[in-house]
Amino acid sequence: MTTKKVDFIIVGQGLAGSCLALQLLFRKKRVLIIDRIRGNSATRVAAGLFNPITGRQMMKTWMADTLFPYLHSFYREAEKFLQSNFFFPMPLYRPFVSVEEQNEWMGRSEDPMFSNFIESLHTDSVFDHQVKNPFGGLLLKQCGYIDTQLFLTALRKQLQRIDSLLDEDINEQHLEITPQVIRYKEWQAEKIIYCTGASNTSNSFFSWLPIRPLKGETLALETTEPVEIIYNRGIYVVPNLWKAGATYTREETPHVTEEGRLELMQKLDELVAFNYNIIGQQWGFRPTTPDRRPILGSHPVHEQIAIFNGLGTKGVSLAPYFSEELVHWLENGTPLNQLVDINRYKSLFSKST
């Protein structure tokens, strides 16, 4: 059996593994991805939304000033590299819930901390044939969505073309780890990086990390309404993909639920003013961490085994920037941002051994 040499082996082709693989391919590195498609993996069911101002309190998301400009250039470059269109910048409209919220935002919208992300502020209802917004709302910029299925498929095809994909679950019995090289079947690499999302518990190197599944359900809609804005309040509706979501629960039942459907239908009716039919429902598990930050870095004992995980609810905006940070660390030893460094959980490893 001839040995196939690559620089890195990546396990898992969700957003984490895909962005990491692209960063390496952009730099002309050789990679092997080991991934078996799971229909319910987070990336495959995600709505693909990126939005810098989120949540009930409408907070600016962590590192938005860095992550958002970066993700725009990254996905554009990825589209060119893969010759596929999956990146769709689009304004997002968030109706105000009350006059108080409207007043608050009239002040905040002048604040340079937010103004880069605000296209316009409306004190009266707009787009009211499509959205219920009696107090007006905020039209946000630097938002949009990626079609995650198209993104994964385009990369997968490219990996297949260059003989860089093993379509299987990793079988760790075939993994040989030496200080110099990693061997897996006929492949040999300098390092292996686990990017297995919420399935992290089933690998033998990183199951001690506190990566917990956070279940989410979405609805698939059908409508003839020509919508060109993402509407978002309590629920988001992504046009073209026609996904509405999502729920957030710690229950780990691997199927869609009636409660999920009812919750989403109620929120949807409070938000949109157009007619639609529900034609499907999906579920998946987000890989979340207690401090809501990703986890990057190497195994406490095996330096050549690394992880990129914990993208939580915001993989679309976190994966591009932090995959580059991981590559700088892998290649040049550039220190990782301490807030994402696996070392913050090192004490859990000692307890587990």
Ligand X SMILES: Cc1cc2nc3c(=O)[nH]c(=O)nc-3n(C[C@H](O)[C@H](O)[C@H](O)COP(=O)(O)OP(=O)(O)OC[C@H]3O[C@@H](n4cnc5c(N)ncnc54)[C@H](O)[C@@H]3O)c2cc1C
The residues of the shown chain that bind ligand X, judged by CB under 6 A, are 11-17, 34-38, 41-43, 45-49, 169-170, 195-199, 202, 216, 218, 245-246, 284, 286-287, 309, 311-317
Q: How far is the CB of 90 from ligand X (least distance, A)?
A: 13
Q: How far is the CB of 124 from ligand X (least distance, A)?
A: 29
Q: Which residue is nearest to ligand X (CB)?
A: 14
Whichever of 52 and 197 has its CB closer to ligand X, that residue is: 197
Q: How far is the CB of 123 from ligand X (least distance, A)?
A: 28
Q: How far apart, in whole angstroms, are the C-alpha atoms of residue 136 and residue 125?
A: 4
Q: How far is the CB of 268 from ligand X (least distance, A)?
A: 15
Task: Give CA torsion, residues 71, 25, 13, 338, to 10 deg.
Answer: -60
Q: How far is the CB of 210 from ligand X (least distance, A)?
A: 15
Whichever of 133 and 196 has its CB closer to ligand X, that residue is: 196
Whichever of 172 and 228 has its CB closer to ligand X, that residue is: 172
Whichever of 98 and 171 has its CB closer to ligand X, that residue is: 171
Q: How far is the CB of 128 from ligand X (least distance, A)?
A: 25
Whichever of 122 and 185 has its CB closer to ligand X, that residue is: 185
Q: How far apart, in whole angstroms, are the C-alpha atoms of residue 261 and residue 243?
A: 13
Strand partners, 286: 214
For residue 340, give the nearest of 67, 108, 38, 151 by alpha carbon. Answer: 67
In what order do the strands lie in the sheet containing 295-298? 165-166, 31-34, 8-11, 191-194, 305-309, 295-298
Whichever of 169 and 331 has its CB closer to ligand X, that residue is: 169
CB 14 within 8 A of CB 20: no
Task: Output the 3-class SS for 91-156.
Answer: CEEEECCCHHHHHHHHHHCCCHHHHCCEEEEECCCCCCCCECCCCCEEEECCCEEECHHHHHHHHH
The Cα angle at residue 156 between residues 85 and 316, in degrees rounded to 5: 55
